[in-house]
Structure 1
């Protein structure tokens, strides 16, 4: 039941978001804002507007509002995708984990600073010596009487050379199965040794860094999970947020592509008059609808402030589907812009940067191939006797999506090889997308038209059929090689 206080809170948040959107649109639109490391002076201006407060508890100066953070990320992504990623890392990856797992002393030290100062926080997990297998990390911690000594290397961390604070994962130097998570100030022993030149997301700096730091005991996060389970929970926040970025980004891509096709002259007409171009716009419309449905799920059925392990399935599915659709949309945008779409700083479109910035999304935070495999493995584990089709037909998070499919899915029960699991995971992510479309359509608030819903369902079904066909090709090739 809505109360006066909740209505006031909602109205206050809407007003804030409106002010923020105007600020981003007028000053930080990626079509005109320099494609360079985001200036700290500008981060200070945004921080002054309360950009980081949604993941800070009220007693430390924040607002602690999950739905507001979802809206913030989506809104910024509509105008500046790299800045949306920048904001998400500081809030959902750094501050969320300090607020959730930090001691009162740690939160008092860190969160009060972030609520009043334009600081940047990063998350140190990946290392040069290990890819996605975090169990092989070499960064260690050694417990002392009054704290911990951390030593090791990290790389591909956002803000490698600029973050003021870090959440760092390390394993016990005396017990390789014991992992810990620590909050470290840059000046205490984090140093950049090599700067990377990334293709996209130029607003964020990346590199290889060394850690040789001592931190007091209260700076260890209070996680009770064994092994790397805590890292899974921490990463779920990032992976879930991908649909907020995708929803904002694709809405912009769709609008700019449509405008481009309606203004580009061809013969006696415009590009929009071409039949296949209209089909491509239908594809972009579907992607916009799909990612909006995923966003609705994120906003109303998850909560960054809570433990996210129960949302592992959704986090994997959302990251795979949302980022696949981001890249697909950017590629079609560039294609429809022709030669001008391949030109940096083109005066007529933003396609080149849209593609460069979105390309990495299917790679980082766990490649989509790996996460697809994990999706299939999750379903096999949860199913009875490996009957994944039956499991998905009964699973609360996919059963309504399964209703939208009227063809044979028995391929999902074949999970003997790694490649089968990857492809099946791709299908499962689309089934979850169908579920989200159904739920968003039935929501009280109207998020899209019924025609857009049907269009999106058709495209997701086409995705699934294409992957099933690819599994048959894979099977035939394997037989030929035997």
Structure 2
């Protein structure tokens, strides 16, 4: 039976069961998580289930690039292993979907066949050692040749370094004067082909996500002309479309992970007896569990919303506000969920094999890569402030009432948001403001999901949690803090001199 003819409920159920069997019966995931990479037999067992088929168009033998199926596979994987889910996320959002949308038709069938039949993988190369988030100033260069393009440069911190069979490589074209174009070009690279081999100069000792290799890559390759991706307008807009779609798929990776943290916490607190009752009978424990449940609900709402708006038939180049909101908020929730589980688990949470402690290390980089959360929150605030000025609004609540992403939820935050914004906000205040706006938008996602029949008690609790967060963030935003570092802090500050 063809994959695209198998009911998705059957497909995902089989995937979840087989993954659980591989990680808990055939292998020990707790021990595996302490080693670099995965045993080849285990990786083959996972990939033989063809999880990446969800991101391949049905015309090429896949399941059809349906967003909710992609997110469900990411969630199923992250319930067992966050690094495995990220491996899938890299392949789906940063390679397969861009090839589906922007790749030359002449290369698609061959590439997709190798993913379906040979368990191949692909990744994306943008980041350079001297240009992290400043992608527009990258120095990797491409030059047109008689047979295609010559690409030369250095990339680092690419997930699946030395492991991927294909890469999408971002670079800038060089003109006759040796100057680099302001636009960005993307090329596919097939490392199995002569002249396209990428030299891995170093593999990094990343502190978490042991399963995924990261490193330093040297590029000096030649690729055919049809390996160049074809943007709908400019290469920069193509890059934004790719990155925003990837950020909108972060909730899929967060979904299974947060659910696992919640399930582990619930089980532990129900079974751990303290005095005359279990941990769950304690008021503060109930508060912590409720925060985990709210994270579960908010992430569920993000997944449902993303499923509607982030397919490859949509161009997301201008959808930075919602993409940044989903990525930043869900990764904050992932990190908090891991911390809550460790705190509730007591000393056991400090074991290196404990899923909570491991989850802290594995989820932490999610707040950094694909744009650090502080940068994304500041961008959210800048977008809103710019729109407010353009539409001549000063009061934040008045503006958000008519702002589509926040209109449905803004009334829940009227008391907190009814204030005027100043003309000039320092960056630290933009970060606070971005956090506030992002959580109001997420409340809208929850209300939208509740309107479709999602449990009202969970939705109400999530809204209350978001209101509490916004209230705390408003206090931080309004607090006058202009502190800056004291350069010569050591002079006169040795405590021993005053003891």
TM-score under structure 2 length normalisation: 0.89
Does residue 312 in structure 1 map to residue 307 in structure 2?
A: no
* 1:321 has 2:321 as partner: no
1:228-243 map, 5 Å: 228-243=236-251
Instruction: Choose from 360, 364, 373 the match for 2:369.
Output: 364
SS of structure 1 residue aligned to 2:220: strand
Q: Distance in 1 between matches of 2:94 and 2:77?
A: 17
1:422 aligns with 2:431: yes
- Are 1:465 and 2:474 counterparts? no
User: Residues 76-225 of structure 1: matches in 2 within 5 Å?
Assistant: 76-174=77-175, 175-187=180-192, 188-225=196-233
Q: 1:201 to 1:279 in 2, by over 3 A?
A: same
Alpha-carbon displacement from aligned partner over 1:87-124 (angstroms, at most 9, x marks no partner)? 11111211110111001112133122212111110100
Aligned length: 467
For 1:23, the equivalent position in structure 2 comes to 18
Q: Normalization by structure 1: what TM-score?
A: 0.92
C-alpha distance in structure 2 between counterparts of 1:279 and 1:263, whole Å: 18
The whole-number CA distance in structure 2 between the counterparts of 1:309 and 1:135 is 15
In terms of Rg, which structure is larger? 2
Aligned counterpart, 1:385: 392
Give the deviation of 1:227 after TM superposition: 5.5
Three-state SS of the structure 2 residue aligned to 1:177 is coil
Q: Secondary structure at the match of 2:183?
A: strand
State the secondary structure of the residue aligned to 1:52: helix
CA shift, 1:314, in A, is 1.4
Kindly indicate whether the alpha-carbon contact (under 8 Å) linking 2:85 and 2:253 is maintained by their aligned counterparts in 1. Answer: yes
Which blocks of at least 5 consecutive residues in structure 2 are unaligned? 487-499
Paired with 2:291 and 2:250, the residues of 1 have a C-alpha distance of 20
Partner of 2:63: 63
Residue deviations 1:28-54, cap 9 Å, x none? 358546113133433333332221111
Query: In structure 2, how many angstroms separate the alpha carbons of the residues matched to 1:9 and 1:256?
Result: 34
Q: Secondary structure at the match of 2:425?
A: coil
Report the equivalent of 1:442.
451
Query: Structure 1 residue 405: deviation in Å?
Result: 1.2
Structure 1 regions of 5+ residues with no counterpart? 1-7
CA 1:314–1:39: 2 relative to 1, 3 Å: farther
2:491 alignment partner in structure 1: none
Q: Tell me what 1:5 maps to.
A: none
Matched with 1:273 is: 281
Kept after mapping to 1: 8 A contact 2:416/2:470? no
